[in-house]
Amino acid sequence: MAAAWPELAAAARERRRELTLPGATVAERVAAGGGRLPAELLALPLLQSLELSGCAALRELGPGLAAALPALHTLVLSGNALGPAGLGAGLGGPLPALRLLDLSGNGLEALPAALGGAGDAGLSEEEGEPAAFPQLRSLNLSGNRLRELGPGLARAAPQLQELLLSGNRLRALPGALLPPADAAPFPLLSRLEAADNEVEELSPDIAALPALKSLDVANNRLSALPAALADCPRLKDANLRGNPLRDRRLEKMVNGCQTRAVLEYLRSKGRAEGGREETRRRKREKPQKKDGGDGERDEAEAVGKLLLKVLHVGDNPAPMVVRASPGVRDVRPYIVCCVLRGVQLRPGNALRRFLSAQTKLHEDICEKRTAATIATHDLQLVKGPLTYGVQPPAELKITPLGRKEIKAKDLLRQLQMEAEEQRKQKKRQNVSGLHKYLQLLNGKDNYPCLVDAEGVVISFPPITNSEKTKVRKTTRDLFLEVTSDTSLQTCKDVMDALILKIAELNRFTMENKEEGSGSDDESDALCGAVNMSPSQSTQQPLVVEQVRVVDMDGNLKVLYPSKTDLATAPSLLAVIR
């Protein structure tokens, strides 16, 4: 005798749109019915939402479910014992209104044919075959035993926005999920979760998902990340933790940095690798010549690149020197400096773009100043030689940008009060702007500072520069400084990125004629603009002068740029050494 289903009788009588059947309550009746849904369920054509979860006895849906419930938009079948065959009968036809499908925790080893599984792949790939789930937005397949996904899913659910795959046995991502290149794969997919799988490869094809905003591949077996990940145009949040990445710096970044900084690092690394490959290709293809034609060819290849000329210490009649005192070792031990000549900051919004770029570098590659801090100075206002040392907070005095001279301890107290007041006014939990860097000096008995030959503090990292050496629209030559408590290589990487960005901005300013702006503090007359063609402007290289950092006895600690620096983007930057 068939088991009674009073819940279904009531639903039919009351013409319900939603129905939830608790698994523990119905498990015995499902088992008595052969492990499938009761036939009475097919007599509810108005049903829009159905949930039956946590029923270990449920092994199949039974035939005709899709045809009998055409209005269904939500189907939750999590924590059951459904397999591909058991799903196939119920999902054998289209569900045109279905928007959410939850099949998590069923132990699925393969997808049913309706979802692009291999069972009836030929049927789903027929030319002109309508999508089985044309309105499906969310598909939850977490907690199963899936090893791969087929391209049929993109055809079955073309409007998918959320795909949850955590806790399976996937080996590659996207793997076979994406259809051939001539099809448009998941144009709306914005959330992809595949944590706790066995993924060993995240392929560059991930960039083929144009709407991807959130990616979770934590706790997999990834040893590397593709540079193409940075090409996902809308990616804002990527959880990459818990993977055995070979790149130790990248591993540190994924565990402690914002997604934007990680993507910027991958982009820079990809450019460097691409540049090295391009160099190797040119060497292989370059014909052997005896007449010195190679130099002319190299010069021609440099046209269109950003040009940078290095002036070595030995060729500089008055090189800048920075002396580092022993006290910085326990506070902020690493510093790299150089001089950059020939910048264009007067036309239009050039200065504003320069300052914005510095802010963005602080947010990204400098990891909100926790990894490194940049300081830029007007070289004409810098009196060398310089000393990088430490001073007690009560003795260190500086004239911060836009403020009057103040002791460091009073400046920090003032900034902390401003931060708290701003936080209260804006009703925020956290402070913003300069104020969020104050914590980096907590517990320090001495503060780092860069002092000029006149004894004036021109930089107080990681907080502020001095008004004395402020960069203005009239500035043509820069003294650049990067400090860090992380590593010397971090300083060099940041300096490389800073110089590359300034070179890009300089070219933009030269190639895009703008009217002069009088927005700077000074009232001197505007210089006449010089018209240059793009090819002419790119042939006017910036000049970077080497700067030595020495200890108090004059022993060399670091020289920048060395012959190994400024090599991260050879495809973009041509360095004349």
User: With 0-12 CB in 10 A as exposed, 13-18 as middle and 19+ as buried, what is 374?
Assistant: buried
Could you read off the pLDDT of 553-570 as tens digits, one per residue?
999 999 999 988 998 666
Question: For the residues 357-384, what does the mean pLDDT come to?
Answer: 92
* Rg of the chain on CA atoms, in Å: 32
Phi first, then psi: give them for residue 365, nearest 5 degrees: -65, -25
- CB 368: neighbour CB atoms within 10 A? 15
pLDDT tops 80 at residue 534: no
pLDDT tops 50 at residue 126: no
Cα–Cα distances (Å) from 362 to 261, 275, 284, 460, 508, in that order, read 10, 25, 39, 15, 21
Query: Where does the pLDDT of residue 193 fall: very low under 50, low under 70, confident under 90, or very high at 90 and above?
Result: very high
Out of 1-5, 106-110, 268-272, 458-462, give the one with best mean pLDDT.
Answer: 458-462
Nearest residue to 420 (alpha-carbon basis) of 548, 428, 332: 428
Question: For the residues 128-154, what does the mean pLDDT come to?
Answer: 89
Question: For the residues 17-27, what does the mean pLDDT come to?
Answer: 92
pLDDT tops 80 at residue 390: yes
Higher pLDDT, 13 or 297: 13
pLDDT tops 70 at residue 571: no
Question: For the residues 263-283, what does the mean pLDDT come to?
Answer: 70
Question: For the residues 382-411, what does the mean pLDDT come to?
Answer: 94
Nearest residue to 321 (alpha-carbon basis) of 136, 548, 478: 548
* pLDDT, position 482: 97
pLDDT tops 90 at residue 183: no
User: With 0-12 CB in 10 A as exposed, 13-18 as middle and 19+ as buried, what is 385?
Assistant: middle
The overall average pLDDT reported for the chain is: 84
* pLDDT, position 118: 58
